[in-house]
Structure formats: C-alpha cells, structure tokens
Structure 1
C-alpha cells in the first residue's frame, strides 16, 4: 500500500495539489483520471521521487510502483537506456562496466 499524508505541490507559489491524504491499495491497479493540468503527472513524479513535494509518502512493502503512461514519447533513434535517461530528467545515471 502507498499512504499519502498531507501531500501538496506548488510551483512559483501556485498550489498544483493542495494538502491531500489518501491510500493506494496494494496489489491493485489504480487509475488516475483528470483534466490536462490537473496534476496527475506531477503527483506520479513526486511519489516516484523524481520531484520534491510536501507531505509524506510511505510505501508499506517496498518501493515497487509501476507507471504506464497513455502517451510515451520514446525517441526511436536512441536505445532504451538512453530514453530512460532523458525521460527521467537526468535523475538516473548510466553505469559503466569499465
């Protein structure tokens, strides 16, 4: 289960997501739906640690969280690893075998 307590996100003093608390059940598919700009992607980035936020996000059984985007902009001329590096906003690093 993922427990979200007092979760909030602001950009330039504008509240994107105001203090919210809820739980996402374990071993179930959870669907986020909302208008463009509602904060769905921002929420996912915060839960997965790609962006900072206010509040507390707690994983009760490890940090296994899988996200399936409805429209993923993969670059056909790049490898899968290079796509992950770009789409992960450079939060990941490519390890060398040397």
Structure 2
C-alpha cells in the first residue's frame, strides 16, 4: 500500500504573493511567469518596498497556465496564446450573460 502525503496552501483573496510563491505554487518557470506578465495575463503589483508581488488571481491564472501547458504539451508561446484565448472566451461569455439578463432572453 502506498500512502501519499500532499500539502495544501490556503489562498487568501486579500494577500499579495511573492514571485517565488507564484513559481512554487504554479509550477511555472520564472521565464514563463514573466511572459504571462508581459502579455498582461498576470497582474503585477509593486508593494511599499518596491518588491514584485501578485494578487490571488495571478496564482490561479499561473496554475491554469501550467495545467494547459502540460495537458496539451504546449511550448511557452502556445501556453500564453491558449491562456489569452481562454480569458477572451470567458470575457465574451460574461458579456453574453449580461446582455441576456438585460434583454430578459434566456437560452436553454
């Protein structure tokens, strides 16, 4: 019998996370994180000590990016493109929901 031990991290919506936290939790490299930042897929915060920090949403986005990269065996550019397209799809879905709510029209 094999016993597996895993460690869980509680994600706090009000906290800021360091780049090393982001790398450790997501499983992405520093270069991949930088690419997500440059393509405005992850929001970078600068704290009072001029340190790079990231909001909780960045942890979620980076973890999803790593999962997409691994599941579809994508290179770094493919991963960034896939994350960007998924974000755009989510935005469009939210816009459709909003328009349906305003018009009173609902689709099954």
* Shorter-chain TM band: under 0.3
TM-score normalized by the length of structure 2:
0.24
Which has the larger Rg? 2
More helix by share: 2
Relative contact order (C-alpha < 8 Å, sep 6+): which is higher?
1
